[in-house]
Amino acid sequence: MSNPVTLNPDSQGHIEPTAHTADMNSQVKAELPPDNLQDFEDARRGLIASEPELKICGEAGNTVWDQDAYRFIEGEAPASVNPSLWRQAKLNHIHGLFEVTPGIYQIRGYDLANLTIIEGKTGWIVVDPLTSEETAAAAMTLARKHLPPRPVVAMIFTHSHADHFGGTAAILSAAEAAEKGIPIVAPEGFMQESVSENVIAGVAMQRRSQFMYGRRLAPSNRGHVDTGLGKALAAGKLGILAPTVLVSQTPQIMDIDGIRFVFQNAPDSEAPAELTFYLPEFKVFCGAEIVSRNLHNIYTLRGTKARDALKWSNYIDEALGLFGEAEIYFGTHHWPVWGNQRVIDFLKIQRDTYKYIHDQTLRLANEGLTPREIAEALQLPDSLRRTFDNRDYYGTVRHNAKAVYAFYFGWYDANPVHLNPLPPVEAGARYVAFMGGADNLLQKAQASYDAGDYRWVAEVVNHLVFAEPENENARALLANTYDQLGYQSESGPWRDVYLTAAYELRHGAPASRPNVANATNLMQQMPIASFFDIMSVRLDGPKAAGKEITINFIFTDRDVCYVLKLENAVLHHYLTKPDPKANASLKLTHELYLRIFTGRITMVEAVESGKMEIDGSADDLIQFFSLFTKPNGLFNIITP
């Protein structure tokens, strides 16, 4: 078979949209709710100042955030972008310092999330200081240019995702907070969830997130345009502050710098630890991220535990009952809503969307439908489809329905064919043989591609790519197919997943890993036990079989000891006194351990520096550390 036609590729190899894709996106535009432009008015309302060229760089000159790169998002949607996603991308491109209402301000478009500033009696109360120190510093610089000079007197973390706390150090240091007794308010469980979420499975999640957020895609009409939740996830340095005040109940009333807050504790919703709050003096409700101007993820494509859609819906209903007099809603993403009836309608739509997906997934599951069948069948009713606020820009009805199914039933759909299927390479070889060989398969797949049947082409040609990963014709056709699926996607993450897959089929997996040293400030707050949990999942079980080794890790600056015991090819760790029968003991500081863990110094260098002592059998210690793998996070996803 000849090479698949590659039409006018851009600099990253993405081809132009086909006529089928253009027709599909035209049909989507015709089916969208009437656009009354209210969202655009709301997104611009209260604008105080905006930087015309917004590009934020790190100390080394690396780009941390580049809002300016999205200037191409204007006018009508090109055929290579779903028109609904294009609309959301235009809204998320509106950036600057905004007045929500006198005394409440937001910086939007400086990161994936918003930074909110509330005027207290003596200073500023800062809510959710973004993802990185660099973006938070730039946001506060803009605020200080245009708002009165006042000190930061309190900080609130609404939930345990890094884009809502990572920039803390640029606004408030731990020393200053302690010295001045500045309250740091967060939901119960915040610290544990913030520093441990994604830790044990962190390497795989980092790799998967490159697909979900399109980290390797250039911003362009054929590349990354938006995440749906915001423009992109910022790079840069991460930090955190331990909270001094925990929200553990609903309602929990608190006075912060003369402002009355009524908190709602909402664990196990959009995040494992999350809060919302109401400001009676302003009649303003901060919904954190249990509500946003899109359908959120009950399951995120980077890989997380499925969230509890029923609890999520119930928290929104509870907020309606508690804070139903609110005249203004603002969130930690997107733009606010003004007017009591509009706020109520917005919350009801959000509440009922999550509950409808939950309830109808369970109804269809009880009728015997499998996750893929449910995802294909489930559509929101007309009453929930008349607004843009719950469209598939971030989460989607399809993958959220599968998440609800998994939450209750797990991965197995009860069809025995899925109980023990062949792995992709072996299955791929057999599929190709059944279809008469690679050339025959590609000929049929090209005909399906020409007919616009892209989902089927992807499924079929994927088998050939796994059976023959060096087959350039197969890779090219699959990449072209992923381009078209990406162009048609309303969801920002779906678009990025498809287009990143196309990119990697053409260019391969990334050559370098994310710099874990950027998270040093965050790791300093991570429980020591979490590091040993990471060691446990990196133990090479077959290699460790039959070996029994005990190691004492003694942290001299914290006066604690963890005893690591290897037996039955399993590693256990205990916070206890040093085991006198241990094979070896390590004495080191927590800071030195972090330097070793992040790769800034080797074990040998630590010993030679005199900052780490070893007692006992050096041979046993060497053998012990030889049993651990070091995943590089660069594994293939769309090829074997």
482 & 532 share domain = no
**Rounded CA separation 372/365 (Å):** 11
- Residue 462 lies inside a defined structural domain of this protein: yes
67: CATH: 3.60.15.30
204 & 320 share domain = yes
**What is the pLDDT, as a whole number, of residue 533?**
93
Cα-to-chain-centroid distance, residue 450:
35
175 & 315 share domain = yes
Identify the domain boundary among 353, 375, 395.
353
The answer to whether 265 and 166 are in contact (CB under 8 A) is: no
**What is the pLDDT, as a whole number, of residue 546?**
96
Reported pTM? 0.96
Distances (CA, A) of 147 to 98, 103, 115, 119, 335: 11, 10, 14, 10, 20
> What is the number of other CB atoms lying within 10 angstroms of the CB of residue 639?
18
190 & 281 share domain = yes
User: Structurally, how many domains does the chain consist of?
Assistant: 3
- Residue 407 lies inside a defined structural domain of this protein: no
456 & 574 share domain = no
270 & 189 share domain = yes
- Phi and psi torsions of 137, nearest 5°: -65, -45
Return all residues near 338 (Cβ < 8 A) that are at least 6 apart.
42, 45, 327, 328
194 & 266 share domain = yes
Identify the domain boundary among 488, 512, 542.
488
566: CATH: 3.30.1050.10
**Rounded CA separation 276/355 (Å):** 19
**Listed residue (377, 220, 222, 404) closest to 299, CA to CA:** 404
- Residue 249 lies inside a defined structural domain of this protein: yes
The first and second tokens of residue 30, run together, are: 């015709």
Helix, strand or coil, per DSSP, at residue 394 = coil
- Residue 90 lies inside a defined structural domain of this protein: yes
- Quickly tell me which residue has 């020409």 as its tokens: 450
Per-10-residue mean pLDDT for the chain, 640 residues long? 72 97 97 91 98 93 96 97 98 98 98 98 98 97 97 98 95 94 97 82 92 97 98 93 97 98 98 97 98 97 93 98 98 98 98 98 98 98 94 98 97 96 97 98 98 98 98 98 98 98 96 76 86 94 97 96 98 97 96 87 87 93 93 91
* Domain range for 221: 37-353
- Residue 409 lies inside a defined structural domain of this protein: no
**Listed residue (76, 84, 87) closest to 31, CA to CA:** 84
**What is the pLDDT, as a whole number, of residue 608?**
86
Return all residues near 597 (Cβ < 8 A) that are at least 6 apart.
523, 531
- Residue 509 lies inside a defined structural domain of this protein: no
**Rounded CA separation 572/536 (Å):** 7
- Measured at the alpha carbon of residue 132, what is the angle toward residues 130 and 136, in degrees to the nearest 5? 55
185 & 330 share domain = yes
- Residue 57 lies inside a defined structural domain of this protein: yes
332 & 441 share domain = no
- Residue 364 lies inside a defined structural domain of this protein: no
Element (DSSP H or E) covering residue 549 = strand 549-555
480 & 542 share domain = no
**Listed residue (319, 396, 331) closest to 163, CA to CA:** 331
